[in-house]
Structure 1
């Protein structure tokens, strides 16, 4: 059994990590920590996590986290680096924040307001690169892993096969993605009140300013082998969980509908957590709820010469905590899907 701590356990992502760890056959849950909620009974904050309801949250301090085989950091952006540098290599650290995702310091300083902390192996095992090698090879046995963002997970897995195979071009990509309100975290914000969200959809981060933009471009450039730029528009949907990403790219001159679909089939044929749907069936956020599954569909709009790729994920599971568990398994030498739910809930 490996002993795993969760820092930031009182937030949505941290609580989702605890939920998944409770179902992991090789895990003993160690310390559960928080900042402002330190000292609180966990069940008062997360009553759905009954097996650990009587736990009292510790403060998020390095000495509390050090005595573990692994630590999942579910902290606000900019807070992980200070904790991570105090933990030795004997502790595997899986960071759900953005601190170590970006490789380019200029990208970081453009979109974030804290010092650049460097980059760690990027925790999207299924991401295919330009040479056909997937990102999981860098994750096996790694002691530090950066979990991807939720939007980049959906967008990258929707588009990467087309760029890696050359059936789509990287110079004209647009993405419109809808997210549930849990993607904004648990802090109280007027625009996230039920009375503001119910019955409404609204865009935000418009005009290339959303923080996930450089991460999406980093992933797609790795798949393409050349620089890719993306016009990304996120929207807020009246649902608590889920992301639906609708992605469009110009088809390569010699690609037809058959070769387009073949690229996605080849990329994901052996992937347990990415499901290319049968032709004519489209992803729905409700079908991946609570699961570590990505549903993907792709088609060619021959009239305008564009490929449309759509992906659905649960932003808290495959988009955050499920990816953390997937990476933890790879880091610790366990089968990749151990403890991960691969089916959604319905209705």
Structure 2
């Protein structure tokens, strides 16, 4: 039976990426696309690269329109998803690509967001290894509500969780510096994202512990260790449309060496299709994962400072958003996990 899909926020970067990946999914059919300002327009006018939905007309984002679908993807700004999701049928699989249902503690939400806390849904990062040694995918089976991780947390948590779960890394002093392509800031017109401003230049933002992904990264580490984490996270804007390169460091436990670290990561990800530890000496690049649901990792040990350095590369729109959402949808529906996610990286 073919499943009916609705995508809300379909004209944004995240919604458009969901539609791009779903185009080759053999078990689904996109029937409904919704947005706000572009309602009434044809998708082919707004996203000509999406030939599979070119003839669909964008509808208003209403509960009535979305309720027609078996699966609803919400690619909306924070604070907008919760109100819509609360009115959708319990039988509908709702996948929230926004922030509204990611955090499991209301105090974290209140410190970083300006809307009411909406509660916590199962977290859509299947490969996350938890403190008890199980993977997060077990918590996604048969659920009807999924919170898609943020793009920076996807890269950072995948980079840190195996070492944390194995007790090899100290969660109390984690430093992350990550670069993201400009699509991570969304499609709305902003002066600092104009080509003449962003291309050929890098700049930091959200400096000083204020970026909203900080508590989500700390939460992922806590799930992996059952210990509280302290993360210093600095995002930067890179002159490229897509991609995230996250460099994550943490002190290693006394006596821990590089072989122990590598063994922990190989153990966590050796059987995973979409998270790959690269051969020793080969470092991740954003180009190698462009357009794909893959994450590439590498690690080193700074003997002088006794800090492990783990670098992760993902496509912020694919593995960091839409790819993770579709992978989680497949798990929840009992479908093969890789359906619709066969794309390899693009090069050049």
TM-score bin, normalised by smaller chain: over 0.9
Matches within 5 A, 1:89-104: 89-104=90-105
Residue 254 (structure 1) shift:
2.2
What CA distance in whole angstroms lies between the structure 2 residues aligned with 1:260 and 1:85?
43
Q: Which residue does 1:220 correspond to in 2?
A: 221
Q: Which residue does 2:136 correspond to in 1?
A: 135
What CA distance in whole angstroms lies between the structure 1 residues aligned with 2:137 and 2:46?
35
Moved more, 201-210 or 66-75: 66-75
What CA distance in whole angstroms lies between the structure 2 residues aligned with 1:141 and 1:340?
20
8 Å CA contact 1:290, 1:341 repeated in 2: no
8 Å CA contact 1:293, 1:342 repeated in 2: no
Gaps of 5+ in 2: none
SS at match of 2:154: helix
Given the alignment of the two structures, is residue 304 of structure 1 paired with residue 305 of structure 2, yes or no? yes
What CA distance in whole angstroms lies between the structure 1 residues aligned with 2:258 and 2:53?
51
Please give the per-residue CA displacement for 1:288-324, whole angstroms capped at 9, x wherever unaligned: 0000000011111112211000000000000001111
Q: Which residue does 2:32 correspond to in 1?
A: 31
Q: Which residue does 1:232 correspond to in 2?
A: 233
What CA distance in whole angstroms lies between the structure 1 residues aligned with 2:24 and 2:140?
22
Residue 270 (structure 1) shift:
0.9
Please give the per-residue CA displacement for 1:253-307, whole angstroms capped at 9, x wherever unaligned: 0211110110100000111110110000000000000000000111111122110
What CA distance in whole angstroms lies between the structure 2 residues aligned with 1:342 and 1:176?
28
Q: Which residue does 1:165 correspond to in 2?
A: 166
Q: Which runs of 4+ in 1 moved over 4 A?
A: none
Q: Which residue does 2:57 correspond to in 1?
A: 56
SS at match of 2:29: strand
Q: Which residue does 1:275 correspond to in 2?
A: 276
Moved more, 186-195 or 125-134: 125-134
Please give the per-residue CA displacement for 1:183-217, whole angstroms capped at 9, x wherever unaligned: 00000000000000011000000000000000000
What CA distance in whole angstroms lies between the structure 2 residues aligned with 1:191 and 1:331?
39
Please give the per-residue CA displacement for 1:82-106, whole angstroms capped at 9, x wherever unaligned: 1111111121000000000001101
Q: Which residue does 1:262 correspond to in 2?
A: 263
Q: Which residue does 1:291 correspond to in 2?
A: 292
Q: Which residue does 1:340 correspond to in 2?
A: 341
What CA distance in whole angstroms lies between the structure 2 residues aligned with 1:169 and 1:271?
25
Matches within 5 A, 1:168-187: 168-187=169-188
What CA distance in whole angstroms lies between the structure 2 residues aligned with 1:30 and 1:55?
8
Question: Could you say what the CA RMSD is over the residues aligned between the two structures, in angstroms?
Answer: 0.8
Q: Which residue does 1:120 correspond to in 2?
A: 121
Residue 18 (structure 1) shift:
0.4
What CA distance in whole angstroms lies between the structure 2 residues aligned with 1:329 and 1:311?
24
SS at match of 2:6: strand
Please give the per-residue CA displacement for 1:90-124, whole angstroms capped at 9, x wherever unaligned: 21000000000001101101111110000000110
What CA distance in whole angstroms lies between the structure 1 residues aligned with 2:52 and 2:274?
27
Please give the per-residue CA displacement for 1:108-163, whole angstroms capped at 9, x wherever unaligned: 01111110000000110101111111111110111000000000000000010000
**Superposition TM-score, scaled by structure 2 size:** 0.99
SS at match of 1:329: helix
Given the alignment of the two structures, is residue 71 of structure 1 paired with residue 63 of structure 2, yes or no? no
Residue 239 (structure 1) shift:
0.2
What CA distance in whole angstroms lies between the structure 2 residues aligned with 1:91 and 1:150?
25
Given the alignment of the two structures, is residue 321 of structure 1 paired with residue 333 of structure 2, yes or no? no
What CA distance in whole angstroms lies between the structure 1 residues aligned with 2:69 and 2:47?
23
